[in-house]
Amino acid sequence: MSELVTKEQIVRWMQIYAERVAAAKEMLTELDAAIGDADHGINMERGFGEVVLRLPELAQQDLSALLKGIGMTLLSKVGGASGPLYGTLFLRMAQGASGKDALTVDEFVAGLEAGIAGIQQRGSARPGEKTMVDALLPAMESLRTTLASGASLAGALTAAAAAAKAGMSATVEMQATKGRASYLGPRSVGHQDPGATSAWMMVQAAAETLIES
């Protein structure tokens, strides 16, 4: 039987991620205080906390409606740049899930890829600019490569999370050219990007979801 990503797993993914974001709220805010508005942790906790509150209602619908509901909640509840970016990720994922309660691995990966492409388009972000893209693109490349080698989705997501973490760590030495951090110019070097950090946490939460299933 082909491996599937179920609606229940997507719900659990959001629950785990919301827990991780809440636990890392102060750390994310401290990272943002160094190069941004000092509100990333606060905004992310509020947004994904609201997502968790809506999950029982959203889970009664198909995957497309669930993912769209997550995206719209983040657009409306997460302040700053993060709301539109994370919201776009889930809205793009929703486009290929209409009428479904589960996705094949290929459909899930295609949805993630479309979501990350949406983030890049919305934020006009390229690799090396000290953004969440620096964690997400290595994760995506790792995911596809590892799956092609015959790994399970859980194994591939674990490898993708490691790639995202490496990408996140690499932002320390980058100079920001996007958003509030870009105002600091060379002074942004030496600080880890908060968006890349929360992006790594999201991939890690996805891996944990599949491992515990």
- Neighbour-count burial of 76, counting CB atoms closer than 10 A to its CB (0-12 exposed, 13-18 middle, 19+ buried): exposed
Q: What is the pLDDT of residue 1?
A: 36
Above 80 in pLDDT, residue 80?
no
- CATH placement of domain 4-212: 1.25.40.340
Which strand (E) or helix (H) includes residue 138?
helix 133-148
pTM of the model: 0.94
Cβ 160 vs Cβ 143: under 8 Å: yes
Question: How high is the mean pLDDT of the chain?
Answer: 93
Q: Compute the distance between CA of residue 81 and CA of residue 180 in angstroms, rounded to an integer.
A: 10
Write out pLDDT tens, residues 10-65. Answer: 999 999 999 999 999 999 999 999 988 889 999 999 999 999 999 999 999 999 99
pLDDT in tens, 124-176: 989 999 999 999 999 999 999 999 999 999 999 999 999 999 999 999 999 98
Domains of the chain, by residue range, sit at 4-212
Joined tokens for residue 160: 């993708």
**pLDDT on residue 2:** 59
DSSP state of 151: -
Q: Which of 140, 134, 149, 141 is nearest to 206 (CA)?
A: 140
Is the confidence at residue 184, as pLDDT, over 60?
A: yes
Weakest mean pLDDT among 73-77, 138-142, 200-204: 73-77
Whether 184 contacts 35, CB under 8 Å: yes
Q: Which of 67-71, 124-128, 147-151, 204-208 is predicted least confidently?
A: 124-128
User: In percent, how much of the chain has pLDDT > 90?
Assistant: 84
Kindly report, residue by residue over 90-124, the tens digit of the pLDDT: 999 999 999 999 999 999 999 999 999 999 999 89
Ramachandran region, residue 5 (left: φ > 0; alpha: ψ -120 to 50; beta: rest): beta
CB 131 within 8 A of CB 105: no
What value does the mean pLDDT take over residues 69-92? 92
SS3 call for 104: strand
Most confident of 73-77, 106-110, 187-191: 106-110
